[in-house]
Structure 1
Amino acid sequence: MSRDAARPRSAYRAFRTIPTRWSDNDVYGHVNNVVYYSWFDSAVNAELVERGLLDIEHGPMIGLVVETQCRYFAPLSFPQIVEAGMWVAKLGTSSVRYEVGIFAQDSEEAAAEGHFIHVYVDRDTRRPVPLPDKWREGLERLA
């Protein structure tokens, strides 16, 4: 079975450094697959907060994950430092597809990559809402 190669580091627009933790390793001595999804979530949401787009506690809308996927290329393990790169692959009316790559620190080759789709909904009704212009402008910079 052949598969596409991972995207290079240069394909990603924003990076976040993440230290691995002892508890990230599984019995096989590498970071467990579920941890990667946590890194995706943290990288995307931290970037949105830092750009002044997402107000986790009081914002009128929140992002719900409707789809996520990850492909693995190389193992990582504690005590490595990893870098999560991200870019916006698709900007819909109320949804965003984020592409995320996980790299060992200073590596040009991704250890894993995947995507993360948020649908943005009203905090109270949980119904989809259009992305505000400020969000569109901020997210287009990551495309």
Structure 2
Amino acid sequence: MLKRFLVAHDDSLTDWEPAFVDAASNDAAIKHYLRCVYAKDSTFREHVKDLRNVDAFVGSLVFSTAEEKIDFMNGHRTRSPEFIQGRICDFFAEEPSLGETFWQYLTTEDPSVLDEETYEFVATKSPDGVIAIEASTIQLLTPQHTIR
């Protein structure tokens, strides 16, 4: 039986609109929200397409450990194409064709190669900050409720 979940990003309810999602579980509700709302958000897509910022998607793949980020801040910014491609292959291991698509984007910087499926995959692999609360557990206040 499906339950209803309120799904939103815990940073801001105004940046990413919350949604009621009918799903079998908390995780399923979050994944559905990520595919249908978050993956379509222009800020998220810019984060995925940003090839220059260490805090963007590619930067987090290339400089994924604290040590690598410290090295980056200390000026050690060169990574071989093979190293970067390896990180992309690791991230997209479940869907290698999407990894190939993303590698094509990385080498051409042509955003038209990125399709909906690629954005959705990235969004669902990175659910940090997205929460789902079962609707039946949310208190319903009516005009008759008073503050004591």
What interval of TM-score do these two structures reach, taking the shorter chain for normalisation?
under 0.3
Query: Is the strand fraction higher in 1 or 2?
Result: 1
Give the TM-score normalised by the residue count of structure 2.
Answer: 0.26
Query: Is the helix fraction higher in 1 or 2?
Result: 2
